[in-house]
Structure 1
Amino acid sequence: MRLANDLPEHFEYFQQRDDARGHPGFTPTQKIIATLRQLAYGVGSDMLDEYLQMAKKTGRDSLNHFCKGAQSCLPGMLGSLDCMHVGWAMCHTAWRGQFHQGDHPGPTIVLEAVASQDLWFLHAFFGVAGSNNDLNVIDQSPIFDDLIDGVEPPQAFFANGEHFKYGYYLVDGIYSEWGTLVQAYASPLSDKRKYFTKRQESARKDIERAFGVLKKK
């Protein structure tokens, strides 16, 4: 109900309007229910005609407008970058020593990934042997090869009155302070830094949610 109250105030699409016949159209609650059913159950927009008496196009439009409204307000962000240990049950016996770290019960492969809010994986790199953390993996990762070769697609944006040609990734505190990696402030004091840290940490939950979906599967 909080969504039903907030979305119509900011997005015209979720306001109830009359249809072509002059009859009241779908309410904000109906459009939000249609969206949440698609996101929660993975059903297509054409599955809502019986339950909500909603056309396929309306269900699809509700989902698109909802996702646009939920996008991060951080300009130039390409996605959230992080690493995860994935258990390797079928690891070859000769390789177990290379892929077994003491803090895990068995051999694992470190997966480095970049994910967006809609669980789309923009980058995946795994298979590095040895005792690894996020820094060891990114040193061997090809994630910045396109940027080095000059073929990285531009993601121009303005911030603090300056123009930036390329985008950046959101990371946690273990990563180095590179221009393409943006961390939250460890101890934000000003209101501006507190607000940025809140937004950064909120957007970085995308990769944690993506990893959670992989583990569940």
Structure 2
Amino acid sequence: MSDICNHDPYFVQKEDAFHVLCLIPEQKITASLRILAYGASADQVDEIARMGKTTVPESLMRFCSAIEALYTNEYLRTPTPRDMRRLLRKGEMRGFPGMIGSIDCMHWTWKNCPRAQNDLNILAQSPVFDELLQGNSPRCTYWVNGTQYEGSYYLADGIYPRWSTFVKTVPHPQTEKEKHFAKCQEGCRKDVERCFGILQARWAIIRVTARMFDVEALRSIMMTCIILHNMIVEDEYDYDAVDGYEPDLMNNSRTRIYCAHDRTKDPVQHEPLERDGRYNELIVQQYTNVQEPYWHVTRQNDLIEHQWGLHEGEDN
């Protein structure tokens, strides 16, 4: 509340022309949170918060704008090295060494570009591969089915190309090994749907019919819900708990909440991305390696055998 009042004087209590004190910050913030959490309309909130029906939507949009301006850099940041190590550890626990998540869960911006085999514009317009080619992706070495690999990868579905940075599912599995691998790979990729389900359960305004008819207002509300969710995640994190993978997806008794930044009060500082023409040749070489389908097929086959070995070990 202090941050919001310092950011936007609208939330500070003032006097009107008759020197009567107006609404206090707690009223405006509580009304905004009730709308976000319960999906309530202005008519349902005005009497509880003792506010005018026209003041409630204004408080909500100013609240969302303040939350975005104050906390976007901290709670909607790119993963830190600590986060990457945690993602790699959890991927290995689920039978995918070197996996850092599903490409559908990543916060990347995709732009339309012509499908040309020799056109490097597709590289420049895709931040996910820009990160990989600039050397900012996590460097890791791991063994899968007796073969040593370097570099992390994303899980993807059938619409993505057969690149070395992706591990796709088997579209029509025939053998038991392929069926088991497809089940495990598709289960890990369900994270994006589960995350949105968690947001809907916590913030009912996402679940009900949209009452705002402005696209920018809807975007701001969605970003605010995500930021507040990450705040709650940070607040409920249990540092003393032992991290573990729970194969039973319906049992969330061992769910772990993770901190959004290191255990310091200072926000995470990221180094700016610099482009230098001296590395053009290296970028072209990295780009060629990313598009190599051989490593995609080889890693997928090794992961199939690796997952099947883990499955047999569980049965025994």
Bigger relative CO (Cα 8 Å, ≥ 6 apart): 2
TM-score range (shorter-chain normalised) is 0.3 to 0.5
- Give the TM-score of the pair, scaled to structure 1: 0.41
Query: When you count strand as a share of all residues, which structure comes out higher?
Result: 1
Larger Rg: 2
Query: When you count helix as a share of all residues, which structure comes out higher?
Result: 2
- Give the TM-score of the pair, scaled to structure 2: 0.29
